Chain A
Amino acid sequence: MNKIKNKYPPGDFAIWIIIYIELLTFGLFFLGYIYSRRADIDLFNSSQLLLDTRAGFVNTIILITSSYFVVKAVDAIKTLDIEEAIQKAQRWLLSAIGLGGIFLVIKMSEFIGKYQDGINLSTNKFFMFYFLLTMFHFMHVILGMIILYNLYQKTKLGGYTKDNHKGLETGASYWHMVDLLWIVLFPLIYVIR
Chain B
Amino acid sequence: MDKFTKVYTALVIFTIFAFFIGWFKLESTLIIGILLLTTFFKGGLVIEYFMGLNSVDGIYRFIPTIWLITIITFIALGYYL
Binary A-proximity of B17-54 (CB < 8 A = 1, otherwise 0) = 01101110101000010011001001100110111110
With a cutoff of 8 Å between Cβ atoms, the chain B residues found around residue A54 in the complex are: 19, 23
With a cutoff of 8 Å between Cβ atoms, the chain B residues found around residue A184 in the complex are: 39, 43, 68, 71-72
Count how many chain B residues have C-beta atoms less than 8 Å from C-beta atoms of the other chain: 48
B18 vs chain A, min Cβ distance (A): 5
Are B15 and A169 in touch, CB under 8 angstroms?
no
- Contact A6:B57 (CB < 8 A) given known A34-B75, A65-B8: yes
B14 vs chain A, min Cβ distance (A): 9
Are B57 and A193 in touch, CB under 8 angstroms?
no
- Contact A193:B8 (CB < 8 A) given known A10-B51, A57-B19: no
Are B23 and A30 in touch, CB under 8 angstroms?
no
With a cutoff of 8 Å between Cβ atoms, the chain A residues found around residue B7 in the complex are: 68
- Contact A180:B18 (CB < 8 A) given known A9-B56, A173-B51: no
- Cross-chain contact of A9 among B25, B35, B61, B78 (Cβ < 8 A): B61
Are A187 and B56 in touch, CB under 8 angstroms?
no
Count how many chain A residues have C-beta atoms less than 8 Å from C-beta atoms of the other chain: 49
B49 vs chain A, min Cβ distance (A): 8
With a cutoff of 8 Å between Cβ atoms, the chain A residues found around residue B56 in the complex are: 5-10
A36 and chain B: residue at smallest CB distance: B78
- Contact A71:B18 (CB < 8 A) given known A8-B56, A183-B46, A193-B25: no
With a cutoff of 8 Å between Cβ atoms, the chain B residues found around residue A159 in the complex are: none
**CB-CB contacts below 8 Å: A1-43 with B:** 3, 5-10, 16, 19-20, 23-24, 27, 30-31, 34-35, 37-38
Query: Does A137 touch B at the CB level, under 8 Å?
Result: no
B51 and chain A: residue at smallest CB distance: A176
Additional A-B contact list (20), CB under 8 Å, known A6-B56, A30-B74? A5-B57, A6-B57, A8-B60, A9-B52, A9-B61, A20-B64, A24-B67, A35-B78, A53-B19, A57-B16, A64-B15, A65-B8, A67-B46, A71-B4, A180-B64, A183-B11, A183-B46, A184-B68, A186-B15, A192-B35
Residues of B participating in the A interface, judged by any CB pair closer than 8 Å:
2, 4-5, 7-8, 11-12, 15-16, 18-19, 21-23, 25, 27, 32, 35-36, 39, 42-43, 46-47, 49-53, 55-58, 60-61, 63-64, 67-68, 70-72, 74-75, 77-79, 81
